[in-house]
């Protein structure tokens, strides 16, 4: 017997209509508590059981602002499967140079994987290209090639910090194209005494909040996406750092989901600068927006409209 059947059964039993099979004990008190196998159910919770969670999930249109192909879920069919179940209409996909150096050969290969996925599911995937600005000429050529082939933004990783002068020509190109720059980011909490902000032994070129505010100030016309506040870093510190920088956005993706994280991001940054994203952590990423103490219209913005407004600038939005 599943939990739902058990509950509806318990309601019937409180009216004295059902045999006690499966019920270890029955207490018909004021709150009609029923315990069985250590499980306690209150009839006052009935509204919660009647609540159709998946209906709530599907009620909101969704654009996933941070998701990868060929990294965690195998071929793109893996992404589509999850997205279908959760009503995620569009996915902004990328394949950053997660491992390796990020040579031109590597980033072209990854971008081709994204392009192939876009071709296979043109209605579902919006592609972001990756590059490594150490290879300046090849990176600028890659932007031209990928934009020509219909890609909609840039996703970069830890090869070079976002505020390094090597990035300037790349950022200027992205301004021309009116496209967002989505940068992997971190603010280490200090597990084991390690703090990225002060000690950069691991991936020393990882961008931290100060790097974002530095570059956002230099290029106020550019749009920057601080990746995954749910990625395990100090999201409070990050959000507070960006309060006065209207061209820095955050996405809520990641598998670390402390209570109140989404609420806090919206409080600090306003309801227009927070994007829904999964980073391939699908259920929890939808759940944390639903569970946040936001109004219906704020949830709509976070799930869909905020990112769609970014896409609109270059005419790549969803109708």
Residues that bind Zn ion (CB under 5 A): 279
Smallest gap, in angstroms, from Cβ of residue 177 to Zn ion? 21
Sign of the C-alpha dihedral, residues 272, 130, 139, 151?
Answer: negative
What's the min distance (Å) between Cβ of 6 and Zn ion? 40
The residues near 52 (Cβ < 8 Å, ≥ 6 apart) are none
> Minimum Å distance from CB 5 to Zn ion?
40
By C-beta, is 234 or 279 nearer to Zn ion?
Answer: 279
Q: Which of 211/279 has CB closer to Zn ion?
A: 279
Judged by beta carbon, residue 41 or residue 82, the one nearer Zn ion is: 82
Of how many residues is the chain composed? 319
Q: What gap in Å lies between CA 197 and CA 208, rounded to an integer?
A: 7
Q: Which is nearer to Zn ion, 64 or 279 (CB)?
A: 279
Rg of the chain over CA atoms, in angstroms?
23
* Least distance to Zn ion, CB of residue 298, Å: 24
CB of 127 within 8 A of CB of 316? no
* Least Cβ distance, residue 138 to Zn ion (angstroms): 23
Asked if 128 and 153 count as a contact pair (C-beta separation under 8 A), the reply is yes
Closer to Zn ion by Cβ: residue 10 or 113? 113
Q: What is the DSSP string of 229-267?
A: TTSSS-HHHHHHHTTT-TTEEEE--SS---TTHHHHHHH
- Sign, CA torsion 129/109/186/136: negative
The nearest distance, CB 225 to Zn ion, in angstroms, is: 11
Contact predicate 295/263, CB 8 Å? no
Q: Which is nearer to Zn ion, 186 or 294 (CB)?
A: 186
d(CA 10, CA 17): 10
Neighbour count for residue 22 (Cβ, 10 Å): 14
Q: Which two tokens stand for residue 86?
A: 């959760």
Nearer to Zn ion, 93 or 294 (CB): 93
Q: Report the distance separating Cα 138 and Cα 133, nearest Å.
A: 8
Least distance in angstroms from the C-beta of 286 to Zn ion = 16
d(CA 233, CA 212): 15
Token pair belonging to 91:
């996915």
Residue whose Cβ sits closest to Zn ion = 279
């Amino acid at each position: 017997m599943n939990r739902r059947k058990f509950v509806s059964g318990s309601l019937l039993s409180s009216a004295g209509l059902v045999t006690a099979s499966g019920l270890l004990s029955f207490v018909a008190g004021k709150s009609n508590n029923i315990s069985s196998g250590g499980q306690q159910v209150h009839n006052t919770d009935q509204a919660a059981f009647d609540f159709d969670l998946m209906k709530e999930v599907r009620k909101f249109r969704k654009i996933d602002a941070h998701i990868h192909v060929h990294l965690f879920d195998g071929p793109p069919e893996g992404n589509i499967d999850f997205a279908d179940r959760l009503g995620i209409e569009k996915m902004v996909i990328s394949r950053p140079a997660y491992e390796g150096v990020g040579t031109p050969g590597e980033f072209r290969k990854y971008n081709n994987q994204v392009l192939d996925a876009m071709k296979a599911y043109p209605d579902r995937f919006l592609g972001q290209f990756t590059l490594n600005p150490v290879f300046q000429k090849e990176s600028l050529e890659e932007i031209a090639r990928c934009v020509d082939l219909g890609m909609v933004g840039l996703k970069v990783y830890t090869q070079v910090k976002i505020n390094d002068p090597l990035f300037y020509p790349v950022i200027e190109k992205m301004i021309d194209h009116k496209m967002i720059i989505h940068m992997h980011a971190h603010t280490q909490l200090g597990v084991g005494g390690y703090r990225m902000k002060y000690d950069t032994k691991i991936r020393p070129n990882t961008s931290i909040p100060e790097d974002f505010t530095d570059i956002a100030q230099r290029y106020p016309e550019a749009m920057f996406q601080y990746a995954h506040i749910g990625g395990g870093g100090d999201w409070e510190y990050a959000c507070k750092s960006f309060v006065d920088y209207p061209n820095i956005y955050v996405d809520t993706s990641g598998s670390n989901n402390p209570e109140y994280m989404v609420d806090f991001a919206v409080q600090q940054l306003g309801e227009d600068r927070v994007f829904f994203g999964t980073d391939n952590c699908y259920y929890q990423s939808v759940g944390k927006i639903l569970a946040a103490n936001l109004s219906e219209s704020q949830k709509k913005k976070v799930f869909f409209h905020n990112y769609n407004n970014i896409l609109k600038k270059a005419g790549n939005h969803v109708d």
